[in-house]
């Protein structure tokens, strides 16, 4: 079968193969150099990067505008799907199916390029007085290399690339989908896309990030569904496909290039096609990465590496598998392959498949729009960036009109010049990245040494699995089953086994074990009278729970230090805008309740309940492994905070939800229900009623286990008689108030 390599004139007409080989050699040199310079982070920190992407290492107190996952999908939305599809098809058309093997190899090698680019974008970003961040390669080229002229040259080339490669080319591609796939006539498709695009980009980069968090998952789900339903019947053996790819990769005959020069040319052009299509070293994704909310620049760098992994190892493999299975392995068969899908365009599977490309296409346009705007602002200022916005929308719609009028030749034209512009833009960027590899490496070492981050593979796999699970749904289901009332001949053995497994002291329970009708009733059991002694000293603050003390100490300004590298903001933890300022520079104690413990919560001191704040959130487990490895776990999890006014100052009693906690309930308000299907944050103040509670009186309960955190107002308490790891019972003294500051009741 004839590949494009055997007819290079066709390929040169479409892309310009003469300029692709230099791009390949430059990116190869940069990849190898940076891999060795950084110690192969793509291998050492792969699972750590996945952990960061899932959000379990986010720190909400960090500066920035997007979370890691939003920046990831906004930055590589087009390359992850559309770019990989086009790039894989063209690469196979030129070099044959064996080139897929070399795409895998190069995908591993190029990951540090994205790491360095994104890390530097965060490190050297600018923040305007308005709070807006300016970022992109031009800023680190100017600041780190002190080469303003090179930064300007990059920005000028980048604006051309944005218009041709990032704007017109994908927009015309989406026009093709709406016209041929969704049967939208004329300019109705392009105009609809423009309206959606304007709605997204007018809201700034935050709205781009929010759109990414919606469109990316929807696009992936629809793509997978369409992929399986459209192609599954015609697939060959997957392992046979891998075997053929490997054999063809090492077959000189397959390349048919006439010696070593021919082999190198075949590999360089085909591999370059793939990596240009996936926007590698063009600068778009680093511009968006620069506005991410992060406490260490290297964190987003690690996340950005994953783009090459997904593009090369997952998307390219899926596309290559389909093409090879259906015999689409040369120019004619690959170009005609979309016709096979269009034959089924009225089927639901095909429609959803086309919509998946629209989702990622719109996301791609939004990302490129933002990148071009940043470059225009850098070179010419705010007024020209406004003009550039109009130019972007006008040029994309104009070429969409030309495509509707004149057909596929328009797409080939913009594709050809777009790829050439992308290559030109990549040259100063790749040179700069090699020169600045040391700076990025220092950022990586800083992150690893200061943050407490670890890269233990088995632990990372566990935490990744934990993050991806639908924790709230699982907890709700578990809560449901824990309330089932089974026949006594079934329930009693279950309760006895549970009590034995966790070494529960049944002698303290209010009832005999046979009297509990469900696991939840037993878990939330009351204690028999006088099972606990409450310290009656007037200023003694007591433990609210039977638990283990996992941390305590001073609040540094508004930050709680859980352990080295594990800290979180009091404002994020408490949520309440009204009450959190009282606890700046205060003290805190964290109590962990294991399944063995009595799970009712008692008031640590006598006082007046002022109100509460409810924050819906995740339901991560709160064991040591999760707390020490999921950044800011407590502010991420579902919380119900009771604000208690005592005569000595305020106390926040924070009840933190966890995996398998069906509900958190309180005694003072039966309207409060946590872990519902539909949940919203809520703050409530008891203005018309004074709710008083005695020291040691029941305040609430966990339906299964979790954590309680007490936070005390500044200069009100001295913590006493506690040590890390202490197992204590409720009623035990944990501190002493200093002096009275108010009389009760007070007005909330």
Sheet holding 663-666, edge to edge: 600-602, 698-703, 663-666
- Is residue 78 within 8 Å of 366, Cβ to Cβ? no
d(CA 545, CA 532) in angstroms, rounded, equals 11
List 546, 547, 569, 597, catalytic entry: 546
For residue 390, the tally of other CB atoms under 10 A from its CB is 9
Chain centre to alpha carbon of residue 86: 26
- Mapped onto helix, strand or coil, the DSSP state of residue 594 is coil
Tokens of 280: 């590698």
- CA dist 665 and 670 (Å) reads 8
Of the candidates 726, 717, 724, the one whose C-alpha atom is nearest the C-alpha of residue 561 is 724
For residues 690 and 200, give the distance between their C-alpha atoms in angstroms, rounded to a whole number.
47
Pairwise CA distance, residues 315 & 231, whole Å:
15
Q: Is 684 a catalytic residue?
A: no
Distance of CA 701 to the CA centre of its chain: 33
Count Cβ atoms within 10 A of the Cβ of residue 490 and give its class: 0-12 exposed, 13-18 middle, 19 or more buried.
exposed
Helices (H), 543-653: 570-574, 624-629, 633-636
Report the DSSP beta bridge partners of residue 134. 126
Q: Is 546 known to be catalytic?
A: yes
Is there a catalytic annotation at residue 624? no
Catalytic residue among 118, 364, 558, 602: 602
What is the spatial distance between Cα 64 and Cα 290, in angstroms, rounded to a whole number? 8
Is cis: bond before 745, omega within 30 of 0?
yes
Please give the Cα distance from 378 to 137 (Å, whole number). Answer: 11
Q: Which one-letter DSSP state was computed for residue 542? A: E
Which residue, among 101, 100, 97, 88, has the nearest Cα to 1 in the 3D structure?
A: 97
CA distance 549 to 95: 63
With beta carbons less than 8 A apart as the criterion, state whether 617 and 639 touch: yes
C-alpha dist (Å) from residue 634 to 324, 622, 715: 49, 8, 24
Distances (CA, A) of 392 to 130, 195, 214, 511: 25, 13, 24, 73
Identified catalytic residue from 432, 475, 558, 706: 706
What residues are annotated to the active site?
546, 602, 706
């Amino acid at each position: 079968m004839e590949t494009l390599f055997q007819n290079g004139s066709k390929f040169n007409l479409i892309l310009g193969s003469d300029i692709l080989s230099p791009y390949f050699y430059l990116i190869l040199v940069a990849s190898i150099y940076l891999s060795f310079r950084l110690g192969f982070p793509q291998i050492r920190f792969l699972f750590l990067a996945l952990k960061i992407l899932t959000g379990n290492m986010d720190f909400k107190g960090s500066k920035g505008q997007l979370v890691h996952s939003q920046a990831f999908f906004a930055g590589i939305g087009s390359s992850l799907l559309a770019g990989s599809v086009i790039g894989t098809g063209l690469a196979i058309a030129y070099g044959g199916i064996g080139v897929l093997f070399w795409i895998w190899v190069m995908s591993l090698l190029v990951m540090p390029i994205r790491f360095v680019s994104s890390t530097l974008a965060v490190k050297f970003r600018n923040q305007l007085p308005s709070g807006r961040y300016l970022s992109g390669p031009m800023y680190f080229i100017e600041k780190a290399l002190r080469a303003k002229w090179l930064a300007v040259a990059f920005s000028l080339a980048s604006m051309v690339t944005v218009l041709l490669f990032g704007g017109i080319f994908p927009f015309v591609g989406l026009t093709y989908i709406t016209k041929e796939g969704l049967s939208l006539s004329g300019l109705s498709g392009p105009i609809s896309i423009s309206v959606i695009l304007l709605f997204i980009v007018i809201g700034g980069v935050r709205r781009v990030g929010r759109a990414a968090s919606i469109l990316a998952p929807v696009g992936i789900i629809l793509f997978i569904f369409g992929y399986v339903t459209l192609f599954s019947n015609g697939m060959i053996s997957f392992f046979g496909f891998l075997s053929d790819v490997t054999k063809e990769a090492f077959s000189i005959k397959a390349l048919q290039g006439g010696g070593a020069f021919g082999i190198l040319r075949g590999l360089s052009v085909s591999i370059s096609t793939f990596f240009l299509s996936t926007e590698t070293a063009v600068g778009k994704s680093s511009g968006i990465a620069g506005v991410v909310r992060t406490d260490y620049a290297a964190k987003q760098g690690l996340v950005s590496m994953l783009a090459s992994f997904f593009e090369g190892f997952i998307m390219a493999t899926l596309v290559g598998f389909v093409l090879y299975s259906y015999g689409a392995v040369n120019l004619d068969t690959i170009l005609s392959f979309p016709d096979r899908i269009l034959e089924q365009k009225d089927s639901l599977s095909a429609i959803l498949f086309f919509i998946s490309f629209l989702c990622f296409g719109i996301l791609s346009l939004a990302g490129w729009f933002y990148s071009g705007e940043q470059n225009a602002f850098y070179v010419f200022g705010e007024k020209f960036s406004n003009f550039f916005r109009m130019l972007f929308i006008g040029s994309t719609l104009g070429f969409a009109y030309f495509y509707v009028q004149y057909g596929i030749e328009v797409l080939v034209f913009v594709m050809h010049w777009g790829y050439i512009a992308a290559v030109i833009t990549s040259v100063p960027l790749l040179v700069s990245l090699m020169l600045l590899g040391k700076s990025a490496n220092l950022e990586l070492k800083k992150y690893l040494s200061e943050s407490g981050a670890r890269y233990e593979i088995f632990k990372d796999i566990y935490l990744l699995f934990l993050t991806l699970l639908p924790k709230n749904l699982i907890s709700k289901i578990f809560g449901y089953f824990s309330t089932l009332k089974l026949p006594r001949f079934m329930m009693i053995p279950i309760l006895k086994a549970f009590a034995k497994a966790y070494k529960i002291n049944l002698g303290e329970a209010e009832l005999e074990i046979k009297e509990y009708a469900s696991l939840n009733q037993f878990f939330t059991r009351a204690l028999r009278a006088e099972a606990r002694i409450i310290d009656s000293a007037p200023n003694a603050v007591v433990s609210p729970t039977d638990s283990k003390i996992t941390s305590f100490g001073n609040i540094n300004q508004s930050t709680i230090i859980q352990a080295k590298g594990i800290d979180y903001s009091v404002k994020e933890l408490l949520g309440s805008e009204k009450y959190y300022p009282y606890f700046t520079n205060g003290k805190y104690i964290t109590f962990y309740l294991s399944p063995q413990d009595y799970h009712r919560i008692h008031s640590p001191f006598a006082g007046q309940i002022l109100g509460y704040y409810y924050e819906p959130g995740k339901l991560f487990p709160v064991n040591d492994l999760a707390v020490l490895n999921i950044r800011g776990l407590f502010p991420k999890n579902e919380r119900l905070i009771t604000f208690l006014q005592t005569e000595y100052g305020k106390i926040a009693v924070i009840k933190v939800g966890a995996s398998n906690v069906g509900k958190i309930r309180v005694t003072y308000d039966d309207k409060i229900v946590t872990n519902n299907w539909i949940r919203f944050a809520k703050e409530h103040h008891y203005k018309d009623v004074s709710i008083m509670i005695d020291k040691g009186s029941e305040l609430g309960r966990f339906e299964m286990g979790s954590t309680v955190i007490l936070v005390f107002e500044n200069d009100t308490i001295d913590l006493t008689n506690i040590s890390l790891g202490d197992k204590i019972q409720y009623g035990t003294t944990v501190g002493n108030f200093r002096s009275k500051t108010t009389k009760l009741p007070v007005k909330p």
